[in-house]
Chains A and B, each alone.
Chain A
Amino acid sequence: GAGVSQSPSNKVTEKGKDVELRCDPISGHTALYWYRQSLGQGLEFLIYFQGNSAPDKSGLPSDRFSAERTGGSVSTLTIQRTQQEDSAVYLCASSHTSMTGEQFFGPGTRLTVL
């Protein structure tokens, strides 16, 4: 596709359940980023992939959060044992490896934990 796509667009889950969020980057983009946007915290960087590897996972909020990327393309962000404070919009972005580093964002997944 022409842009970054994410699924699902909305996810409502019960506290304690696991959720998996998916991101399809722009074709040919080697870098992929996950962010979280919430009213209280603004936009927070979570994790970054260059190819399939994530050099720094320190931005993940807790050990309940994990992410992987396979084949240098699709990425999944998994949240285990969800808590109410995990409710937010999760945004994915991708970037071509270039000097500009311009990141293009997907439409996001709105996660609501009841």
Chain B
Amino acid sequence: ELKVEQNPLFLSMQEGKNYTIYCNYSTTSDRLYWYRQDPGKSLESLFVLLSNGAVKQEGRLMASLDTKARLSTLHITAAVHDLSATYFCAVASINSGGGADGLTFGKGTHLIIQP
């Protein structure tokens, strides 16, 4: 059974600081996704990581994937208040047809950035 663990689950930080969210998963997969969720809203896709060593950056967020370590990181640089949200990593199981089955999500990291 695929398990996905995120840490920390809760993070309060000040604007301008850097921090990293970690996502570990238990079985082989080369498809990892990061999503953002604002309170009362749905999930917004942030990054799709498809291979070992993949690195994606968007603004102050950077995500990376190490499939050998079964680890992905989401790094926040010089945090700003607008980045306050819950961040989820998710891993896909691949079906026999090569498509993605349902995603297994981590519990989410609730990030609060204090002005």
Q: List 17 additional contacts besides A102-B33, A103-B103; criterion CB under 8 Å.
A: A43-B103, A45-B104, A47-B102, A55-B95, A59-B102, A91-B42, A100-B31, A100-B48, A101-B31, A102-B48, A103-B100, A104-B45, A105-B44, A105-B45, A107-B41, A107-B42, A108-B42
The one of B33, B41, B95, B107 in contact with A42, judged by C-beta atoms closer than 8 angstroms, is: B107
Q: Which residues of A are interface residues toward B (Cβ below 8 A)?
A: 31, 33, 35, 42-43, 45-48, 50, 55-56, 59, 91, 93, 95, 97, 99-108
- Interface residue tally for chain B (C-beta within 8 Å): 24
Question: Are A100 and B50 touching (Cβ within 8 A)?
Answer: yes
Question: Are B88 and A43 touching (Cβ within 8 A)?
Answer: yes
Provide a sorted-by-A list of 29 A–B residue pairs whose CB atoms are within 8 angstroms: A31-B99, A31-B100, A33-B102, A33-B103, A35-B102, A43-B103, A45-B102, A45-B104, A46-B102, A50-B97, A50-B99, A56-B101, A59-B102, A91-B42, A95-B99, A99-B50, A100-B31, A100-B48, A101-B31, A101-B92, A101-B99, A103-B33, A103-B45, A103-B100, A104-B45, A105-B35, A105-B42, A105-B43, A105-B45
Q: Which residues of B are interface residues toward A (Cβ below 8 A)?
A: 31, 33, 35, 41-45, 48, 50, 88, 90, 92, 95, 97, 99-105, 107-108
User: Which B residue's beta carbon lies closest to that of A43?
Assistant: B105
| A47 CB contacts on chain B under 8 angstroms | 102
| A42 CB contacts on chain B under 8 angstroms | 105, 107-108
User: Which B residue's beta carbon lies closest to that of A103?
Assistant: B103
| B90 CB contacts on chain A under 8 angstroms | 43
- Cα-based distance from A42 to B107 in the complex (angstroms): 6
Shortest beta-carbon distance, B111 to chain A, in Å? 16
- Cα-based distance from A47 to B90 in the complex (angstroms): 16
Which 9 pairs, one residue from A and one from B, show the smallest C-beta to C-beta distance? A45-B102, A101-B100, A43-B105, A105-B43, A105-B42, A107-B42, A102-B48, A100-B48, A42-B107
- Cα-based distance from A42 to B41 in the complex (angstroms): 15
